[in-house]
Copies of this chain bind each other. A is one copy, B any other.
Amino acid sequence: MNSTETKNELSRREMLITGGKIAAGAAIASMAVLSAVKKSEAYENSGAAVFKYVKLDPQEVGRITYENYFKRWCTSSVIAGFAENLKKKGAAGWNDFPIDAYRWAHGGFAGWGALCGTLPGAGVVIGLVTKDTDVAEAMTNDLAFYYSYTDLPSFTPAKVLKAPIKHMTMSGTPICHISVGKWMRAEGVGFLTNERQERCARVAANVAIEAAGMLNEYHDTGSYKPKHKPLFNVIANGITSQNNCSDCHGQNPPSPRETYESLEK
């Protein structure tokens, strides 16, 4: 399944959910979310005055990210993929960027397996170079969809640095532990292996390439067209969430109604 098919399948699923049993609740929640978002104004981000973005070759961003992974791990390798290329092109703000100041986000926060560290790595760059928080929100939301519903890693390095690997897996979630665990099971290897390091390095490259495509669009057009609706998960499920409910909740996840009803009181 390629990336486009995945996104189409997901869109069909979104429509089924939105058009189905929780439509009424979703409508109520949607209004409440919009109201909450409105109250929480989108900020002009002062970072964009300092950190400039120039158009980059996504494959080159991916290559540098892949090569940096083995000494810097997931988060900082994605940042390095951008920072080193932006520095080479003379973009303001990147000459002495503290790439390793964000290393703690590796392995889902210091190895706690929560959010895959490649995503906040891309988020740091996206947040610093985009002018308002709504654009960064849309890009990171789309990046989470890409990460969760694409077979990864599809990036193939020109020169394999650690070990050849055979499998791609779809995580269904941006959670490090589940994502890497599904891949380890498919590949039949443990976490502390060259193969697993190779896989995470390639996933980091994929995320960096996807983010570079988004930032190039923003550079060229001055805006970004979201592929998915920001805060969709909150609207559909009535809580910050993913769409893999049964992974943890089994066949009887708590009904979004529980929370929508509390809104109607």
B113 near A240 with CB under 8 A, answer yes
B190 near A259 with CB under 8 A, answer yes
A240 near B107 with CB under 8 A, answer yes
Which of A120, A193, A234 lies at the interface centre, i.e. has the most chain B CB atoms within 10 A of its CB?
Answer: A120
- Determine how close the nearest CB of chain B comes to the CB of A191; give it in whole angstroms: 5
Among residues 1 to 51 in chain A, which have CB atoms less than 8 Å away from a CB atom of chain B?
Answer: 29, 32-33, 36, 39-41, 43, 45-48, 50-51
Interface size class of A (residues with CB under 8 A): 35 or more
Name the prevailing secondary structure of the A interface residues.
helix
Residues of B within 8 A of A101 (CB): 45-48, 127-128, 136
Residues of B within 8 A of A73 (CB): 40
Q: Is A192 an interface residue (CB 8 A)?
A: yes
Q: Is A65 an interface residue (CB 8 A)?
A: no
State the A residues within 8 Å of B (CB).
29, 32-33, 36, 39-41, 43, 45-48, 50-51, 70-73, 96-105, 107-115, 119-120, 123-124, 126-128, 133, 136-137, 139-141, 144, 173-177, 180-181, 184, 188-193, 197, 230-231, 233-234, 238-242, 247-248, 254, 258-263
